[in-house]
Structure 1
Amino acid sequence: MTAFVCAPPTPLAPRRTLAAVLLAALLGQPTIAVRAQEGPQLNLQRVELTAGMHRIDAQVAASPQERQTGLMHRKDMPQHEGMLFVFEQPAQQCFWMKNTLLPLTAAFVDDDGTIVNLADMKPQTLDSHCSAKPVRYVLEMNQGWFAKKNIKAGAKLTGAPFSRK
């Protein structure tokens, strides 16, 4: 799946992190190691959404780690499944496809379930795909799913996340 980013990482970023951990260890300071997910996350909570008459079984990526890993490393995904990214507050959300093997379409979704814009994303690229306005939700589906169902910007998704007041 995709990872939420504002800018592509620099090649030195992993080294800086390792250097900071080593320096803290040498100075006797406690450190918290966060290991990046190396395989697909398949056991996230799920929510049922609908787009018109079409049912979507969506995994929910709500924590920063879940959102960062997203659909990375997945080799396949059933056509009726997707991943719903849930953020704490509306903001411009930007996604990329690092370590993501599947071509995906991201639907940037307003609080009421209205699709603001759609973005087709190529696998294993660092191109940014952003929401046209601040949103709290992003739904990723297999590329072509929205087009095959004739679902476009302005269409409404329904389900528990969009029922909140």
Structure 2
Amino acid sequence: MTTRHSDDSYRPILSSIRTVGWRGTIAVATLAVLAVATLLLRWQQHGFGHGQVILNGVVTVNVEVAASDSTRQRGLSGRAGLPEDAGVLFLFSEPKKYAFWMKDMRFPIEAIWIRDGQVVDLSYGLLPPSEGEPPQVFTPLEPAGAVLEVPAGFIERHDIRLGQSATADVDRLGGLR
């Protein structure tokens, strides 16, 4: 027994294609694909990645990854705080003495500067700016290819020291794919 399908379900589509023509339909479809592709690209470039950093082989920090210009610029700005075991890992393509600032920060932090899998510098007591004051700027003493920002007091609580290992397992979103 053969089942026949009604052509009625296709009539609205065929009618609209006849109205705008095949070229119009192709143009609309192309614009839709471009819009979706643009949104996906912007999400990838502006979104934070995720992962973990393990310090000295024992301390695990759950991190958001800032690997694009936009995520590195945004960093922790405007946030109310960080959980004790969390941080933001800023990744760069090559080790340099990158300058960081405390723009729009609302809580104190510390920074662990990393190069080639080792802690190369530590920054303590990085305070948010007082009302009407310019934000504090801080740089490492040694070039670094990654910077891990953590809550104030983290370095002392976990006995983090220069020369200790620092390994990252991250998904590298934020423009590095």
State whether TM-score is above 0.5: yes
**Structure 1: which 5+ residue stretches go unaligned?**
1-42
Q: Which amino acid aligns with 1:49?
A: V
TM-score by length of 2: 0.63
Query: Which string of whole-angstrom CA distances, capped at 9 and with x for unpartnered residues, describes residues 86-114 of structure 1?
Result: 1121111111111011200011110x221
**Which residue number in structure 2 is paired with residue 89 of structure 1?**
94
| Runs of at least 4 residues off by over 3 Å | none
Contact 2:51 2:169 in 1 (8 A): yes
Residue 174 of structure 2 corresponds to residue 157 of structure 1 = no
Query: Which string of whole-angstrom CA distances, capped at 9 and with x for unpartnered residues, describes residues 112-143 of structure 1?
Result: 22111111211125222111122110000001
Query: 1:143 aligned to 143, 149, 152, which one?
Result: 152
**Structure 2: which 5+ residue stretches go unaligned?**
1-46, 171-177
> What is the correspondence of 1:107-122 to structure 2 with a 5 Å cutoff?
107-110=112-115, 112-120=116-124, 121-122=126-127
> What is the correspondence of 1:64-79 to structure 2 with a 5 Å cutoff?
64-79=69-84
Query: Which string of whole-angstrom CA distances, capped at 9 and with x for unpartnered residues, describes residues 65-104 of structure 1?
Result: 1001100011021110000001121111111111011200
Write the distance in 1 (CA, Å) between the matches of 2:118 and 2:111.
13
Higher helix share: 2
**Which residue number in structure 1 is paired with residue 139 of structure 2?**
130
Percentage identity across aligned positions?
A: 29
What is the RMSD computed on CA atoms of the aligned residues?
Answer: 1.5
SS at match of 1:160: strand
Query: 1:50 aligned to 51, 54, 58, which one?
Result: 54
SS at match of 1:133: coil
**Which residue number in structure 1 is paired with residue 34 of structure 2?**
none
Write the distance in 2 (CA, Å) between the matches of 1:142 and 1:134.
22
Contact 2:128 2:136 in 1 (8 A): no
TM-score by length of 1: 0.67
